[in-house]
Amino acid sequence: MSEYVERASRLPGAVVWTRGAVGCPDGGEGGGEAVSVLPDGCMDLLWTEGRLLVAGPDTRAYRPGPAAQGPWAGVRFFPGTAPALLGVPAHELRDRRVDLADLWPGAEARRLRERIDAAPDPAVALEGLALRLAADADPVDPLLRAVVASLTAGCSVAATAESVGLGARQLHRRSLTAFGYGPKTLARVLRLQRALALVRAGVPFAETAALAGFADQAHLARDVRELAGESLTGLVGR
């Protein structure tokens, strides 16, 4: 399997990752053995030679096909921030990988892709593009970060809506645009990521279930199976 490497981006909250010879994906694809990409509430801007793509928010594990071979690089945006930078509501890209040329004028997308293709370090060039997009966009609504923080902390959807001063329908509508799905699904995805972080740190499954906010270990196992497409034991083994 090609090595996956990530680092914090100069864009607040974002991560730059590489898998393959150029150093490239997470919200993306990869060279060598195909690796499932698990839902994380994020969107990614992806590069592989000759292509610029956007990975929308996932509701289930994404497994790249044979066409995903080769070096990749990506910028994984903090949940809720990418739609304002890319000019497309997140729900329109849910569970999809879309060429940037299908979202933006073809000539502009081609010019950007050629510039990154020719860069000595495509990951750095891709990060530069993300920084320019952020500089040209309106500031991220702090309410969105508050929603993510509340759900990440394990608060209920009702408590989260109340904490940010929105009704349930308003929160759902805002969440579709920013995150690609409603707050209940976002909460499940973030809870899955909390659980995986604990398990990777060596916390036993039963304790992980309690700490991450699951009813019990069986509940954790069901959610992992539904969202990741495999058992927790198999996931950890990989």
| DSSP of 27-85 | SS--SSS--PBPP-S--EEEEETTEEEEE---SS-B---GGG-S-EEEEEPPTT-HHHH
**Cα 145 from Cα 78, distance rounded (Å):** 9
Report the chain's C-alpha Rg in angstroms: 18
pLDDT at res. 67 = 59
3-state SS class at 212: helix
pLDDT at res. 2 = 61
pLDDT at res. 33 = 53
**Contact present, 4 and 30 (Cβ < 8 Å):** yes
**Cα 215 from Cα 222, distance rounded (Å):** 11
- Phi–psi pair at 228, nearest 5 degrees: -100, -15
pLDDT at res. 1 = 42
Encoded tokens for 18: 């590489």
pTM equals 0.89
**Cα 58 from Cα 65, distance rounded (Å):** 16
Burial 9-27 (b: 16+ CB within 10 A, else e): bebebbbbbbbbebbbbbb
Residues of the chain falling short of pLDDT 70: 1-2, 21-34, 66-68
**Cα 212 from Cα 226, distance rounded (Å):** 17
**Cα 105 from Cα 213, distance rounded (Å):** 44
CA 72 from chain center: how many Å?
A: 15
Question: Residue 220 contacts by C-beta under 8 Å, 6 or more apart in sequence?
Answer: 195, 205, 208, 209, 212, 214, 232
Element (H, E) at 6: strand 4-8
Burial 140-159 (b: 16+ CB within 10 A, else e): beebbbebbebbbeebebee
pLDDT at res. 235 = 84
**Contact present, 21 and 30 (Cβ < 8 Å):** no
Measure the CA angle with vertex 94, ends 121 and 230; round to 5°.
85
pLDDT at res. 31 = 42
